């Protein structure tokens, strides 16, 4: 690895999945697969969560919510989510989120909520039906954009992957954050202003009837539920035209081809399209699609079945993710509580311990983090993210995560044992004579300033 790295700022990306249903093929192609691919990028710090508080807005069937939480968690894990790299947790396991939601509720104008698309749609439907405008509207439905803002702002996400219909909610989160920063900040920007990330290249699969694949339309193809036979039977129901085998078919007008194209390499998709143009029968085409999908899905389905049989294993993974997330949320909510006046009692006019601390240090109470990831060859690396979200160092490659974890623990527990070697104005870090990591390019501040900053950040681990 080159001593100079091209990226010093890591982007935190956050997305949640509402736990009210069972993931289907469209969810995998449109959300799960691209999110997992994104989480494997070296400059992304990914936060994925089960939005189970949001589920209560849409669903009052407790058993359905419980089952969906398990199925969605198992699906993401079976699909290859690396929980050593990404932070994966249940929204309901982070008590600081609803607390922040209430604090933000107290500073969010009602007029902002009145403009929310979901609320306006409910009011319009009620008026069309001749009933009271707010008939059936719960406070959860009305104010859930604030809870969504709390999900995002608690971890100061830079990017939030959403569909076009969700852009308004990110804009509302920005507005809520700006209001809080302005009113309580006094020069301190508590919240990063998030940006919506809309990827127009992400596949949107048609369902069995040609409309967007959705549980609402009852036109989905199962992902892991059922067997290979169930998958093929669902594919057999895909709507096609009435052209017989031997008659040319237009792949651009084919829902079946749209699904096929989303799961294979371009060259293979073009070969399939050519076979359709040359008269490939729909029955044979559906078998070919089923075979392609089964090749991809079968290993993941096997892992999914194993996970579903061991819910306690899923629970352990989610709780470990929540513990990692709370290392950020717990100190941050204390900072927010302090800002709004929820402070420990003291004599009026005297300085609180927090005021004294603010005078002696301007640092945030946020903590630095080590983030693990795989390199292009499948080996394991890690990077150190500072309290300001800046990448300070990146490790060399290790053959397995256990060795990488041992080196992380050594850096955390004994910074004094680090051997620094200056090479081309950048420090290399060794432990026991072995190269462990290399400094990110800090030519703007100088190597010695970078070294001091690194040691300061590492000292925060032993202070926890």
How far apart CA 96 and CA 109 sit, in angstroms, is 22
Do 69 and 311 touch, CB atoms closer than 8 A? no
Closest by CA position to 405, among listed 17, 8, 84, 184: 84
77: Cα separation from own chain's centroid:
13
* Strands (DSSP E) found in 36-134: 44-51, 87-90
Do 284 and 235 touch, CB atoms closer than 8 A? no
The reply to whether 27 sits in an annotated binding site is yes
Do 380 and 447 touch, CB atoms closer than 8 A? no
The reply to whether 215 sits in an annotated binding site is yes
The reply to whether 205 sits in an annotated binding site is yes
The reply to whether 287 sits in an annotated binding site is no
Residue pointed to by tokens 């194209």: 261
Strands 434-439 and 391-395 come out as antiparallel
The reply to whether 239 sits in an annotated binding site is no
- Residue 64 is inside which H or E element, if any? helix 62-78
Please list the alpha-helical segments (H only) found in 79-201: 96-105, 110-114, 117-129, 139-154, 167-184
How far apart CA 84 and CA 372 sit, in angstroms, is 6
The reply to whether 124 sits in an annotated binding site is no
The reply to whether 204 sits in an annotated binding site is no
Q: Is 350 exposed, middle or buried (0-12, 13-18, 19+ CB in 10 A)?
A: exposed
Do 397 and 379 touch, CB atoms closer than 8 A? yes
The reply to whether 20 sits in an annotated binding site is yes
The reply to whether 213 sits in an annotated binding site is yes
The reply to whether 375 sits in an annotated binding site is no
The reply to whether 212 sits in an annotated binding site is yes
The reply to whether 193 sits in an annotated binding site is no
The reply to whether 68 sits in an annotated binding site is no
How far apart CA 237 and CA 231 sit, in angstroms, is 10
Binding annotation for L-tryptophan? 151
Binding residues: 18-20, 26-27, 151, 163-165, 205, 212-216
Binding-site residues for ATP, in ranges, read 18-20, 26-27, 163-165, 205, 212-216
């Amino acid at each position: 690895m080159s001593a100079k790295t091209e990226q010093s700022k890591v982007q935190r990306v956050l997305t949640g999945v509402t736990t009210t249903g069972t993931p289907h093929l469209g969810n995998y192609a449109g959300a799960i697969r691209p999110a997992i691919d994104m989480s494997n990028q070296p400059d992304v710090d990914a936060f994925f969560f089960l939005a189970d508080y949001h589920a209560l807005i849409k669903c009052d069937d407790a058993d359905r919510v419980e089952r969906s939480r398990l199925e969605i968690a198992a699906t993401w894990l079976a699909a290859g989510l690396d929980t050593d790299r990404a932070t994966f947790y249940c929204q309901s396991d982070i008590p600081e989120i609803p607390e922040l939601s209430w604090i933000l509720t107290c500073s969010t104008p009602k007029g902002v909520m009145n403009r929310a698309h979901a609320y306006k749609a409910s009011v319009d439907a009620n008026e069309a039906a001749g009933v009271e405008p707010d008939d059936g509207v719960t406070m959860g439905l009305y104010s859930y954009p604030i809870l969504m803002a709390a999900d995002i702002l608690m971890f100061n996400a830079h990017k939030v992957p959403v569909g076009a219909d969700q852009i308004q909610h990110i804009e509302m989160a920005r507005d809520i954050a700006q209001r809080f920063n302005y009113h309580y900040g006094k020069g301190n920007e508590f919240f990063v202003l998030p940006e919506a990330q809309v990827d127009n290249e992400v596949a949107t699969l048609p369902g069995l009837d040609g409309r967007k694949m959705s549980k609402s339309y009852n036109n989905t193809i199962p992902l892991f539920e059922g067997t290979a036979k169930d998958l093929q039977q669902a594919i057999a129901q895909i709507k096609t035209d009435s052209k017989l085998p031997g008659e040319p078919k237009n792949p651009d007008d084919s829902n079946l081809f749209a699904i096929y194209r989303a799961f294979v390499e371009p060259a293979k998709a073009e070969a399939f399209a050519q076979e359709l143009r040359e008269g490939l029968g729909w029955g044979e085409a559906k078998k070919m699609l089923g075979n392609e999908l089964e090749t991809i899905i079968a290993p993941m389905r096997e892992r999914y079945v194993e996970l579903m049989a061991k819910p306690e294993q899923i629970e352990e993974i989610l709780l470990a993710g929540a513990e990692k997330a709370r290392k950020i949320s717990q100190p941050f909510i204390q900072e927010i509580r302090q800002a709004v006046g929820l402070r420990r009692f003291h004599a009026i006019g005297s300085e609180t311990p927090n005021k004294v601390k603010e005078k002696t240090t301007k640092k945030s109470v946020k903590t630095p983090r080590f983030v693990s990831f795989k390199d292009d060859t499948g080996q394991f690396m890690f990077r150190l993210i500072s309290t300001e979200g800046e990448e300070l160092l990146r490790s060399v490659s290790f053959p397995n995560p256990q060795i990488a974890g041992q080196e992380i623990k050594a850096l955390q527990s004994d910074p004094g044992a680090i051997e620094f070697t200056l090479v081309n104005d950048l420090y290399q870090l060794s432990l026991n004579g072995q190269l462990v990591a290399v400094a990110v390019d800090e030519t703007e501040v100088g190597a010695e300033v970078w070294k001091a900053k690194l040691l300061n950040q590492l000292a925060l681990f032993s202070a926890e």
